[in-house]
Amino acid sequence: MSNNNEAKVNLFGLETAKWLIILILLLVAIIGNYYYQETTLYLRMIAIVILFIISSWILLSTKQGKKILVFTRESKAEIKKVVWPTYQETFRITLIVIAVTTIMSLILWGLDNIVVRMVSFITGLRLF
């Protein structure tokens, strides 16, 4: 029982250390970019990309990172199961959406005109 608790504490400490390293690397990237403004943009970008890749690699080795990888794999499998509409179906639905949007905008424009005329009649203002 004691060994199990020690293993959990060690894993928790390792996870915490990984997150601290990730945080430090990202802070180094941000502060370094600000501190070395005189340096060429390309060199700063290369350094930032390298630090980001290292941080991502460490992130993917954490518990949460492994969950992200599993989620990504499952998402790809689900996307393959989806039946995507054909070009003709997509085109028809797009035309329907355009037609309904146009009709609704005309209806709203007409109702707006009616309300504006009623308000101008009631208040006695001549807006038109």
Q: How far apart are CA 96 and CA 75, in angstroms?
A: 30
Q: How far apart are CA 55 and CA 35, in angstroms?
A: 20
What integer pLDDT is reported at residue 8 of this predicted model?
62
Task: Output the pTM of the full model.
Answer: 0.56
What integer pLDDT is reported at residue 126 of this predicted model?
73
Q: Average the pLDDT over 15-26 and give the result.
A: 94
The neighbour count for residue 23, using CB atoms within 10 Å, is: 11
Please spell the DSSP secondary structure of 5-56, one letter per residue: HHHHHHHHHHHHHHHHHHHHHHHHHHHHHHHTTTS-HHHHHHHHHHHHHHHH
Q: What is the pLDDT of residues 77-119, one digit of tens each?
A: 999 999 989 999 999 999 999 999 999 999 999 999 999 999 9
Q: What is the pLDDT of residues 55-74, one digit of tens each?
A: 999 999 999 999 999 999 99
What integer pLDDT is reported at residue 13 of this predicted model?
84
What integer pLDDT is reported at residue 71 of this predicted model?
97
Question: Are 43 and 17 in contact, with CB atoms under 8 Å apart?
Answer: no
The CA radius of gyration of the chain, in Å to the nearest whole number, is 30
pLDDT exceeds cutoff 80 at 18 = yes
Q: What is the mean pLDDT of the chain?
A: 90
pLDDT exceeds cutoff 60 at 1 = no
Spatial neighbors of 66 by CB under 8 A, at least 6 apart, are 60
What is the tally of helices (H) and strands (E) in the chain?
4, 0
More confident residue, 70 or 14: 70
Q: Domain residue spans in the chain?
A: 2-81, 83-128
Buried b (16+ CB within 10 A) or exposed e, 26-38: eeebeeebeeeee
AA letter at 99 = A
Q: Average the pLDDT over 20-30 and give the result.
A: 94
Q: What band does 4 get if pLDDT is binned at 50, 70 and 90?
A: low
